[in-house]
């Protein structure tokens, strides 16, 4: 059994430059690190691959540059089973993220938007979508356009944090944030449903500001938290699109996020539907 739904992801596509270091540097400090990797990334692309790994039919809406990095990202999405027909090639360079990861798996990220600043949404891109999932690494106008055009479930991973128009908050069926993002964004108490991820403590669902469900993740050995939030966002969106109860969707998403921390990288760490269900069965 898989997530047999059509999900359109409107979001960022990046080349991730990942540097392992013994600890995250303080301001003005240089830390000598270890292995450096270049891997596919971007919250949008990560969430598209995460949903595809869970068995959903996924279409990606985004922008890349006319460069090798962009072609590499599109090839990777195709290989993951994502429909790339709505990815535009622009004159701006492909977005790039510099990611520092310490020995405990914590990270710091700096993002250059590049072609992600050129994302727009055409009505044809959302045809047939059971759910639309987007983030804030693209222009807010593109997010608002996706919200206006979406016929089914509309989910927003409000990261990186920024103030949101009240009309956008009201349109969202689900908003996904971590604890820091929740504290930084005003007006989330007016949202229909907010999933707040809490790291090793799991996640809490809030309806109009009031807690309605909590789930703890299975015990894992975390080595890299990059991509964990994307696995969570894709998983809970896919489950809700399939009509699952919010409590079950939250538990499934927590397990998906936890499994993503057990491997290096973002897209390379994302679990399959079978892996997540096996993890949940083992934890029960």
Q: What's the first-to-final CA gap in the chain, in angstroms?
A: 19
Q: Is the dihedral of CA 249, 266, 268, 119 positive or negative?
A: positive
| Cα 185-191-139 angle, rounded to 5 deg | 55
Alpha-carbon distance of 130 to 240, in angstroms, equals: 10
Q: Is 230 a catalytic residue?
A: yes
Question: Which secondary-structure segment (H or E) carries 84?
Answer: strand 83-90
How many Cβ atoms from other residues are within 10 Å of residue 77's Cβ? Answer: 27
| Cβ pair 237, 199 in contact under 8 A | no
Tens-binned pLDDT, residue by residue, of the chain (284 aa):
567 899 999 999 999 888 889 999 999 999 998 888 888 999 999 999 999 999 999 999 999 999 999 999 999 999 999 999 999 999 999 999 898 988 887 888 898 999 999 999 999 999 999 999 999 999 999 999 999 999 999 999 999 999 999 999 999 999 999 999 999 999 999 999 999 999 999 999 999 999 999 999 999 998 888 889 999 999 999 999 999 999 999 999 999 999 999 988 789 899 999 999 999 987 65
The model's pTM: 0.92
Going along the chain from its start, the domains and CATH numbers come out as 6-23+34-283 (3.40.1190.20)
Q: Which of 67, 83, 230, 248 is catalytic?
A: 230
- The pLDDT value recorded for residue 1 is 52
- The pLDDT value recorded for residue 155 is 98
Alpha-carbon distance of 48 to 73, in angstroms, equals: 12
- The pLDDT value recorded for residue 36 is 86
| Cβ pair 60, 88 in contact under 8 A | no
- The pLDDT value recorded for residue 284 is 57
Q: 113 CB contacts (<8 Å, ≥6 apart)?
A: 12, 95, 137, 138
């Amino acid at each position: 059994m898989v997530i047999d739904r059509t999900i359109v992801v409107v979001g960022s596509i990046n080349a991730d430059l990942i540097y392992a270091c013994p600890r995250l540097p303080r301001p003005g400090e240089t830390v000598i690190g270890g292995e450096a990797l270049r891997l596919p990334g971007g919250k949008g692309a990560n969430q598209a691959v995460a949903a595809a790994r869970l068995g959903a039919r996924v279409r990606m809406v985004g922008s890349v540059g006319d460069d090798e990095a962009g072609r590499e990202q599109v090839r990777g999405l195709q290989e993951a089973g994502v429909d790339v027909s709505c990815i535009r090639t622009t004159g701006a360079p492909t977005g790039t993220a510099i990611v520092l990861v310490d020995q405990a798996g914590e990270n710091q990220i700096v993002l250059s938007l590049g072609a992600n600043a050129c994302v727009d949404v055409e009505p044809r891109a959302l045809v047939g979508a059971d759910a639309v999932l987007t983030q804030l690494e693209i222009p807010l106008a593109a997010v608002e356009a996706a919200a206006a055009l979406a016929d089914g479930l509309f989910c927003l991973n409000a990261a990186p944090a920024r103030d949101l128009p009240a009309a956008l908050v009201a349109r969202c069926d689900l908003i996904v944030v971590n604890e820091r993002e929740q504290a930084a964004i005003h007006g989330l108490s007016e949202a229909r449903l907010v999933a707040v991820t809490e790291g090793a403590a799991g996640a809490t669902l809030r309806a109009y500001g009031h807690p309605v469900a909590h789930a703890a993740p299975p015990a894992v050995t975390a080595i890299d938290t990059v991509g964990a939030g994307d696995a969570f966002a894709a998983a809970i969106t896919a489950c809700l699109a399939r009509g699952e109860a919010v409590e079950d969707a939250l538990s499934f998403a927590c397990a998906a996020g936890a499994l993503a921390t057990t491997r290096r990288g973002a897209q390379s760490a994302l679990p399959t539907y079978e892996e997540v269900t096996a993890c949940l069965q083992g934890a029960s």
